[in-house]
């Protein structure tokens, strides 16, 4: 397994934390204490002494959290009334009146919590010292559930409730590919950034409340946002270009000399379109001047054809002066041929 959701405050023993990193906390998970109807129960944990209380099933994050809180309150963890019941079984026994109290970790919209609030057979307990717990434990937060916030018509709950809450966090193995971490961070922001019952919009995901070292890639995301390429390109394209950068740098080193060669090659190519006509022009000029038997009218037609072809040459503006020089030279030779023709009559 490369990625997992974990409840805040759950201790992992020994070296099991090695190689694990946190991507962030995602949302609050309130800790609820419900009592059966008719039982007077103060909002302090020592008051549970002598009662039958469900701490949550063995191995669950709920039980681990509650046992820690009870122990810090001097509560004997070997007391006979402490039971390890599933959430469903504990809720049924509360409604049946065969269980005094039970702990649950759930959002207010959780099925079991909502059913208990509406059942009339169990009552949520107000944590009187919620703020003290939050100050003592960095992974706990004190929350307020206002009166009537679950159901205004039925006024549930019937008073303001102070609750304790842990956070759900996402943890990954440190060898997880950075590109996958970047994609996960974007999904977490999209899904959990909208807020909820206790969360303000934009409050989550957050690097706070983590029980694990923050992933370096996640830390960069919280500081700078998504990687530059992923802001404008699909994930597959951004990931491909990110991998290609290892090859692009050596290629750039090889291509730099080519960049120096290209401009001279370009200039030579443009000039060659013009200069290749000078060989023909020189041949016409030499024959007209030195060959008494030269067919001057034919040479003149050859010059006219050359002029027409030169007019059709396409070169950039930076080379147009050289093209006009060629046309001037063609005109100069044409006038000499005409003078020779006039002199020979």
Domain ranges of the chain: 3-226, 255-344
Cα 134 to Cα 67: distance, rounded to the nearest angstrom: 16
The set of residues, in sequence order, having a beta carbon less than 8 Å from that of 166 and lying 6+ positions away, is 7, 8, 9, 28, 29, 31, 61, 65, 105, 139, 140, 141, 209
Question: Which superfamily does CATH assign the domain made up of 3-226 to?
Answer: Periplasmic binding protein-like II (3.40.190.10)
Task: Tell me the CB-side half-sphere exposure of residue 332, using CA atoms within 13 A.
Answer: 10
- How many C-beta neighbours within 10 Å does residue 335 have? 11
pTM higher than the cut 0.85: no
Specify the pLDDT at position 14: 47
Residue 49 CA, chain-centre distance (Å), reads 49
Q: Helices then strands (H, E): number in the chain?
A: 10, 8
Task: Tell me the CB-side half-sphere exposure of residue 90, using CA atoms within 13 A.
Answer: 26
Q: Which two tokens stand for residue 71?
A: 């122990």
Spatial contact of 191 and 54, defined as CB atoms under 8 Å apart: no
Spatial contact of 162 and 144, defined as CB atoms under 8 Å apart: yes
Per-residue pLDDT in tens (0 to 9) along the chain, 345 residues:
889 988 876 655 444 567 889 999 999 999 999 999 999 898 899 999 999 999 999 989 899 999 999 999 999 999 999 999 999 999 999 999 999 999 999 988 899 999 999 999 999 999 999 999 999 998 899 999 999 999 999 999 999 999 999 999 999 998 898 878 888 998 999 899 988 888 889 999 999 988 889 999 899 989 988 877 777 778 777 777 777 777 777 777 777 777 778 888 888 888 888 888 888 888 888 888 887 777 888 888 988 888 888 888 888 888 888 888 888 998 898 888 888 888 876
């Amino acid at each position: 397994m490369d990625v997992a959701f974990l409840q805040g405050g759950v201790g992992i023993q020994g070296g099991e934390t090695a190689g694990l990193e946190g991507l962030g906390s995602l949302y609050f998970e309130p800790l609820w204490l419900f009592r059966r109807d008719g039982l007077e129960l103060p909002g302090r944990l020592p008051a549970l002494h002598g009662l039958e209380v469900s701490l949550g099933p063995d191995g669950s994050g709920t039980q681990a959290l509650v046992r820690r809180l009870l122990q810090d309150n001097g509560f004997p963890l070997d007391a006979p009334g402490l039971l390890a019941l599933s959430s469903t079984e504990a809720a049924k026994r509360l409604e049946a009146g065969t269980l005094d109290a039970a702990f649950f970790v759930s959002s207010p919209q959780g099925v079991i919590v909502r059913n208990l609030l509406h059942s009339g057979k169990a009552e949520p307990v107000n944590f009187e010292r919620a703020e003290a717990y939050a100050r003592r434990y960095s992974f706990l937060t004190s929350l307020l559930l206002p009166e009537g916030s679950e159901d205004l018509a039925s006024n549930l709950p019937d008073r303001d409730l102070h609750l304790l809450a842990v956070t759900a966090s996402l943890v990954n193995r440190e060898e997880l590919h950075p590109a996958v971490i970047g994609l996960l961070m974007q999904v977490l922001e999209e899904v959990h950034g909208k807020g909820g019952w206790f969360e303000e919009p934009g409050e989550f995901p957050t690097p706070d409340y983590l029980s694990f070292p923050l992933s370096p890639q996640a830390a960069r995301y919280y500081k700078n946002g998504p990687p530059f390429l992923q802001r404008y390109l699909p994930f597959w394209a951004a990931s491909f270009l990110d991998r290609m950068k290892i090859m692009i740098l050596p290629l750039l080193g090889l291509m730099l000399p080519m960049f120096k060669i290209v401009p001279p090659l370009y200039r030579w190519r443009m000039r060659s379109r013009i200069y290749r006509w000078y060989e023909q022009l020189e041949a016409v000029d030499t024959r007209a001047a030195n060959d008494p038997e030269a067919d001057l009218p034919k040479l003149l037609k050859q010059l006219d054809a050359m002029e027409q072809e030169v007019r059709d040459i396409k070169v950039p503006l930076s080379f147009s002066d050289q093209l006009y020089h060629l046309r001037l030279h063609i005109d100069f030779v044409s006038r000499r041929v005409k003078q020779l023709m006039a002199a020979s009559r």
